[in-house]
Structure 1
Amino acid sequence: MIHPHTYIHPNAKLAQNVKIDPFTVIHQDVEIGEGTWIGSNVTIMEGARIGKNCRIFPGAVISAIPQDLKFAGEKTTAEIGDNTTLREFVTVNRGTKERGKTTVGSDCLIQAYTHIAHDCSVGNHCIISNSTQMAGHVMLGDWAVIGGVCAIHQFVQIGSHSFIGGGSLVSKDVPPFIKAVRTPLSYGGVNSVGLKRRGFNLDTINHILDIYRIIYNKGLNTSQALEYIEEELHASDERDEIVTFIRESGRGIIKRYAKGSGDED
């Protein structure tokens, strides 16, 4: 299952049924779960932890040291969950001492030429489309979908079940369950299509819509909107997730689109 033209360091730990194609290099302190396939010309560097049944396509580089001038050679990791696919030339850097690791969850699709920088955290079931560039410390919730050729600023948080349109510059936090579109990046409504596909019922989707109407359409500032939501809307997991996300936002959340604010459309 391992081609003779592949180099594997003697200290690397490979489970059963791992298949590795020619001209791939695997460094020391690497762990790879059973059933994983690694294509040709892949480089897996020190600190990589790769789960079961993953697919890593040619040209990918996993667990290279961070592109961070503060990195001082500390022992850190880059961790990939089970059943995740990394397409051609994806790069995932390992962490720094601040977080200690970079993580990509299970059942994700990371498309070609995507870069995931040091200390990022990508949840489960995420799709990151071609040529997206994630700076350090970005946090991506479960089931988030990122369109192609997006650039995501360091320390940005993107909520679960959100959708970001292709070609976006993401410099503010994107709350859960919504679409983020246009230029500058703005609230584009609730991601109702994605939520229906994942089994959310109509009552729950309407509840989420009511929450975001208060945040974006009622003319309240953020603090007033959150207080109103907690006082007037019934408690739910979705309500609590949205309120907690916005309260803990470090960069502030994206705004509602204002006509004339820069979109050529």
Structure 2
Amino acid sequence: MSEATPVIHPTAIVDSAARLGRNVRIGPWSIVGPQVTLKDGVHLQSHVVVDGLTEVGEDTHVHPFAVLGGAPQHLAHKGEDTRLIIGARNQIREHVTMHTGTVSGGGETRVGNDCLFMVGSHVAHDAEVGNNVVMANNASIGGHVHVGDFVFLGGLCGVHQYVRIGRYSFVGGAAMVTKDVIPYGSVWGNHARLEGLNLVGLKRRGFSRDLINSMRTAYRMMFAPEGTFQERLDDVLENFSDIPQIVEIVQYIREDSNRPICLPDA
């Protein structure tokens, strides 16, 4: 047997139509459906189910009792072929669930690269998860949620359907998020409120002290009591037009969205 040949435990059930890349390993009692693609280096430990029209990216490691590619939890779904696309080098821990999309929602759920999905976390139909995202134990995102790159979702948090979570933001444990979270923001509570910038995350990701100070100044301007919100956003753009991260926050707030923006307490 060559190094590139998939290694499949004799108790695993792998449909002959499944597409397996080089160096794939499939452990005991795992099930792989006929429309599944496992790319090079994917490792399924024991008791993993991968079903539906699902693609798992290179070197992704899936731990026991995870279920990937199950049908969406949506009453309008009638068994249509919809997709789950998972990127490369993800760590998917025990009891994680990720569902395929719905026809009405675009037909595809998508997960990026280099993410960590801790025990029991859930990615619902038609969601889009960026790169380098961490979902802690039992964090759950609803249908059509968009999670940007480098987001951290705390344990037991729940994100309402259609909410956007901006990149580099932080959602605290057990938070219930019903409104959009600005990029670089930090929210927690039930329902979640904006508590400032994700300063710990920005420092860990190597943002400079000068950049963080500018972002804090812009944040205070955005949410000051004087003037209207739109006037304050205009002022921020006028004063910080040369700082892409601050421009990104303003543009994010002004984008069309199904949900309002998470705001600080008055």
2:142 equivalent to 1:135: yes
Deviations 1:131-167 (A, max 9, x none): 1121100100000001000111000000000001100
- Which of 186, 209, 219 is residue 216 of structure 2 equivalent to? 209
Q: Given the superposition, is the C-alpha separation of residues 236 and 250 from structure 1 closer, same or farther in structure 2, using an over 3 Å criterion?
A: farther
2:133 equivalent to 1:126: yes
Q: 2-side partners of 1:3 and 1:135: how far apart?
A: 34
Please state how far the C-alpha of 1:183 moved relative to its aligned partner.
3.6
Q: Which residue of 2 aligns with 1:230?
A: 237
Q: Which residue of 1 aligns with 2:228?
A: 221
- TM-score, normalised with respect to structure 1: 0.93
Q: Given the superposition, is the C-alpha separation of residues 63 and 142 from structure 1 closer, same or farther in structure 2, using an over 3 Å criterion?
A: same
Please state how far the C-alpha of 1:72 moved relative to its aligned partner.
2.8
Deviations 1:166-198 (A, max 9, x none): 000000000000111234311111112211111
Q: Which residue of 1 aligns with 2:82?
A: 76
Q: Which moved more, 1:214-223 or 1:154-163?
A: 214-223
1:10-49 counterparts in 2 under 5 A?
10-49=16-55
Q: Equivalent pairs: percent with the same residue?
A: 37
1:69-218 counterparts in 2 under 5 A?
69-97=75-103, 98-218=105-225
Q: 1-side partners of 2:34 and 2:226: how far apart?
A: 57
- TM-score, normalised with respect to structure 2: 0.93
Structure 1 runs, 4 residues or longer, greater than 4 Å off: none
Name stretches of at least 5 consecutive residues in structure 1 with no aligned partner.
259-265
Q: Which moved more, 1:54-63 or 1:71-80?
A: 71-80
CA RMSD of aligned residues (A): 1.3
Deviations 1:204-258 (A, max 9, x none): 1112112211122243433222212122323322122111110114311112124
Q: Which residue of 1 aligns with 2:265?
A: 257
Deviations 1:102-122 (A, max 9, x none): 111100000111111100001
Equivalenced residue count is: 258
Q: 1-side partners of 2:86 and 2:80: how far apart?
A: 20
Please state how far the C-alpha of 1:73 moved relative to its aligned partner.
2.5
Residue identity matched to 2:133: C
